[in-house]
Structure 1
Amino acid sequence: MSQTKRPRRPSAGGYARGDETRQRIIAAALELFGEHGFAGASTRDIAAAAGVNAPALQYYFQSKEGLYQACAEYITHELKARFAPAMRYASAALKKADSDTETLIEAFIGIQAAMVDSMLTPSHASKGQLIGRELAGEAPDVASKLLRKHLRQPLNRVTLGLLARISGLAPDDPVTRIRLLTLKGQILSFHYPPGACLEVLGWREIDATKGALIKDVILAQTRTLLHSWVAVPAAGGGRKLQSATRSV
């Protein structure tokens, strides 16, 4: 796909108006790409939803592919910014050889909290649909690749590192990786398939109050599990690695 081209604009006021228009187009495109897929979302419909004329899309993004690339970059930038504080804290904790267990657990909880917040944000729905269509082969694999490189891989490295330090197991130990997936699974239950959790919960929707309750429960469960996986000190000092048969 071609890279998104930013047009030249003549003044500070023009830049502000242009950036606002560009963001409005991206917001409309995210909704329609998520709802109808890349092929099903027409540039005419996107322009109408954004309140601009069709040539504006070509002016700001050159093509439909360029607009899709801009949407993928927007999703990636927004999610990276959301996770940045928790990632900084966790990375700092891992760099210190003397970080205690509670610090490592709280670092993991911080990342888990960011995941829950991201998943329950109302605007996440269209972004999740867009990525879901990519994974299903119904759209160009653009956002998925960007997120894998700039967010998912760094998150996996840090969270596996935290679990390894907490439990005394290696980051590449299958038990460590299974545990990470189970912890993530708590959150995914409220995301995919879309709306399926509402039937079990008996809710019509997840508002701010209900979202806060979900977050509290998930983080409490995560903290309990992490404490249960703390490595047991060996009799002669140091840390005793737990075997897969004892820890699963």
Structure 2
Amino acid sequence: MSTAKKLRRPSEGGYARGDETRHRIIEAAVELFGEHGFEAASTRDIAARAGVNAPALQYYFENKEGVYRACVEALADDAWRTFEPAIEHARKVLGENVDTPTLIDAFIRLQETLADAAFAKASKPGRRLFMAREQAGHEPESATQILASRVREPINEVSAALVARISGRPADDPITLIRSFSLHGQLVIFHVAHRSTLTVLGWKSIDAEKAKLLKSIVREQTRTLLELWSRERDGGLAAGSPGTHEAQD
């Protein structure tokens, strides 16, 4: 897949106009790729929704693959701006000799940042559907590669490292990784099964008050589990598999 063309700047004053046009095309493309998928979304429809003529897409992005890649790059940029402070804080904490409560707080800070991003995305159906299609493996592989290297891998790395320190297990231990994924997975259901969760809860949407409630519950559950695993570590149970102590009773 060819990379997106760099924006051409025809004249002074063209910078702002060019950036605005490119941004409009990307926003329209994210919505249409989310609604219809990469194969079904047409460049003509993207141009129409963006309010530009079809040749403008070729001017800025060469082809539909270039538009798609630009969408992924833009989403990755937005995600990194959101997650970077929490990730860097976690890295700082991991590099110091801190106590368990500080490690737990760092994990929860990252988790709540993820929650805020998920709830914000819920108000933008196009973005939510775009990411859901990518996660389902239905879209070009380049999306997964970009998002993995720039966003998901850093999040997963620090999350596993924090759980490892808290629980006393290696960061690459399958139990550590499953625990880390499971803790973050408490929020995923509200993203990938958005309509179903709202129906079960009897909600029309997740407003600020409901988001606060969800975050509070997830925070409490996460803290309870992390504190439990830290007590198992201190009690010398970390080296065994979960449930080992029950089997010995």
Question: Do the structures match in fold with TM over 0.5?
Answer: yes
After superposition, the Cα gap between the structure-2 partners of 1:247 and 1:31, relative to the gap in structure 1 and judged at 3 Å, is: farther
2: CA distance, partners of 1:60 / 1:217: 45
Instruction: Say which SS state the counterpart of residue 53 (structure 1) adopts.
Output: coil
- What secondary structure sits across from 1:4 in the alignment? coil
Larger mean CA deviation between 124-133 and 75-84 belongs to: 124-133
Cα deviation 1:196-222 (Å, max 9, x = unaligned): 101211111112221222122212221
Q: CA RMSD in A?
A: 2.0
Letter of the 2:100 counterpart: T
Structure 2 gaps of 5+ residues are: none
Question: CA, structure 1 residues 63+100, in 2 after alignment: closer, same or farther (shift >3 Å)?
Answer: same
Q: Quick check: which one's helix share is greater? A: 2
Which residue number in structure 2 is paired with residue 89 of structure 1?
89
Q: Which residue of 2 aligns with 1:106?
A: 105
Whether 1:240 aligns to 2:226 is no
State the identity as a percent.
49
- Cα distance in 2 for residues equivalent to 1:224 and 1:211: 20
Q: Which residue of 2 aligns with 1:119?
A: 118
Distance 1:149 1:247 in 2: 38
- Would the aligned equivalents of 2:168 and 2:233 in 1 still touch at CA under 8 Å? no
> Is 1:168–1:241's contact at 8 Å kept on the other side of the alignment?
no
Paired with 2:53 and 2:162, the residues of 1 have a C-alpha distance of 50
Deviation at 1:68, TM superposition (A): 0.6
Taking a change above 3 Å as real, the CA distance of residues 144 and 247 of structure 1, as seen in their structure-2 partners, is farther
Q: Distance in 1 between matches of 2:39 and 2:233?
A: 57
Q: Give the total of aligned pairs.
A: 243
Counterpart contact for 1:135–1:141, Cα < 8 Å: no
Amino acid at match of 2:211: G
Partner of 2:71: 71
Q: What CA deviation, in whole Å up to 9, does each residue of 1:112-165 have, x standing for no partner?
A: 011111111145532332233234443212221111122212211111110111
2 CA distance for matches of 1:68 and 1:118? 21
Question: In the alignment, is the contact (CA less than 8 A) between 2:167 and 2:233 conserved in 1?
Answer: no
Which residue of structure 2 aligns with residue 140 of structure 1? Answer: 140
* In structure 2, distance between residues paired with 1:110 and 1:11: 45
Q: Which residue of 1 aligns with 2:198?
A: 198
Q: Which amino acid aligns with 2:26?
A: I
